[in-house]
Amino acid sequence: MSVSSSIPVSGQKDGECPNERLNGQLEFLLALDRLKGVERRNPVLGGARRENSAEHSWHAALLALFLAEHAAGPVDVCRVVQMLLLHDVIEIDAGDTFCYDVAANRDKAERELAAADRIFGLLAADQGGELRALWEEFEHGDTPESRLANSLDRFQPLLMNFNAEGGTWREYDLARSQVEARMAPIREGAPGLWPIVERVLDAACERGYLRRD
Amino acid sequence: MSVSSSIPVSGQKDGECPNERLNGQLEFLLALDRLKGVERRNPVLGGARRENSAEHSWHAALLALFLAEHAAGPVDVCRVVQMLLLHDVIEIDAGDTFCYDVAANRDKAERELAAADRIFGLLAADQGGELRALWEEFEHGDTPESRLANSLDRFQPLLMNFNAEGGTWREYDLARSQVEARMAPIREGAPGLWPIVERVLDAACERGYLRRD
């Protein structure tokens, strides 16, 4: 039995049309639940376990409420928050692709596009289209809002790894240059945070959390 | 060693003032991580495990992006999302109080106020005050936005429990009237969703997920 089919959604009676719009909203709501089961590589809670993509999305979205002042200029915080809430929902189908895994990243775009078609397609066209446009804006990263959103998406796991004595970095024996390249969009998207990135990377090398190049 | 003290935040040099504002933002960021370790009673993923408050906050905030049309009238969706992102952060100190536990709810307000003082106090006064005001608006529930936020905060676990064959309801042998009372704010905050609530409760009784009164 599919999870969503168990909800008495439509409530149609004899001759009444099913409420397709509401039905789609509840299908989408239940599909979202699955993001809590998508495991990322970086740790949380000082290394107690790996983070899942739902928790990560919450944390990154909340950062926008108090770190937006570090963007290069004025941004629509509301849009940044919405993008961060949504940016990983395609992982429900496509899974989390480890950012330092070159092979897995080759077909990432293709897998994620198919996921977007299915997942945003659960909603009525107007709502699905609106949310998909936010996801695409995040992916393209060519607006001040999407540049800030991409920066916070990277800044958050930087601090999670640092606070877990290196976390993923040590597990995969990463070099400073690899992490610095991954963080590079922060220079433009949230330049006020870049000095912190550099200090964290310096300290990570000193403590042996990251390999020096 | 406190988690936050390990981040090389301030970067002050001889004679330079520490950046207290940024320091507070990073302290707050790291404090938020702990919400991922606060366990709620309701299940996720069809009953695979309990939900934590960070995942719940993400899910509820995202609901506002496509369920706001079920509110009683026009709402500022941005504000609803922000409230839902923040509404549980006081649980970092105060823990999750099970909504059907009468005894634990007696000192809930006091514990949560002390938590709000400490947690929002990590930020500079302007930012801490702004985020605290959103939390207080959610708690008071007397604006259209906070009524919708409170509705979605209740609607989300309703569906999680139903999809886990009763979840918390069966575990605690709850009666339909108890859950209906808990859901009652949805009548005013998101009247368009109330028919779904009633159908879910009816179906839950039929399936033995909820005790009939």
The contacts of residue B130 (CB under 8 Å, 6+ apart) are: none
Strand-pair category, B49-52 with A39-44? unpaired
- CA-nearest residue to B31 within chain A is A45
The predicted complex's ipTM stands at 0.93
Q: How far A201 CA sits from the closest chain B CA (Å)?
A: 10
Domains of chain B with CATH codes: 19-206 (1.10.3210.10)
By C-alpha distance, the chain B residue nearest A60 is B29
Q: Of the candidates A24, A80, A47, A58, which has an alpha carbon nearest to the alpha carbon of residue A164?
A: A47
Contacts of A2 (CB under 8 A, 6+ apart): none
pLDDT at B101 over 60: yes
Structure confidence at residue B17 (pLDDT): 45
Cβ atoms of A79 and B81 closer than 8 Å: no
Residues of chain B with C-beta less than 8 angstroms from the C-beta of A203:
7-8
Spell out the residues 6+ positions from residue B145 whose beta carbon is closer than 8 angstroms to its own.
B75, B76, B79, B80, B83, B137
Q: How confident is the model at residue B33 (pLDDT cuts 50, 70, 90)?
A: very high
Which chain A residue has its CA at the smallest distance from B19's CA? A196
Residue B29 and residue A63 in contact, taking contact as beta carbons nearer than 8 Å:
yes
Residue B91 class from Cβ within 10 Å (0-12 exposed, 13-18 middle, 19+ buried)? buried
- Say which of B29, B156, B163 has its CB closest to residue A3: B163
A22–B44 C-beta distance less than 8 A:
no
pLDDT surpasses 60 at B107: yes
* Average pLDDT across chain A, whole number: 92
Q: Collapsing DSSP states into helix, strand and coil, what is residue B41?
A: strand
Largest CA distance in chain A: 72
- State the Cα–Cα distance between residues B93 and B121, nearest whole angstrom: 13
pLDDT in tens, B136-177: 999 999 999 999 999 999 999 999 999 999 999 999 999 999
Q: Residue B82 and residue B97: Cα distance in Å, rounded?
A: 21
Residue A7 to chain B, least CA–CA distance (Å) = 7
pLDDT, average across residues A64-93: 97
Would you say residue A16 has pLDDT above 80?
Answer: no
Which of helix, strand or coil describes residue A3? coil
- Give the residue-averaged pLDDT of A41-54: 94
Q: Mention every residue, 6+ apart, whose C-beta is less than 8 A from residue A44.
A: A50, A51, A55, A160, A164, B33, B36, B37
Residue that wins the pLDDT comparison between B105 and B26: B26
Higher-confidence residue: A71 or B5?
A71
A45 vs B33: CB contact, 8 Å cut-off? yes
Tell me: the pLDDT tens digits for A115-140?
999 999 999 999 999 999 999 999 99
Is the model more confident about A137 or about B19? A137
Percent of the residues in chain A that have a pLDDT greater than 70, as a whole number: 92
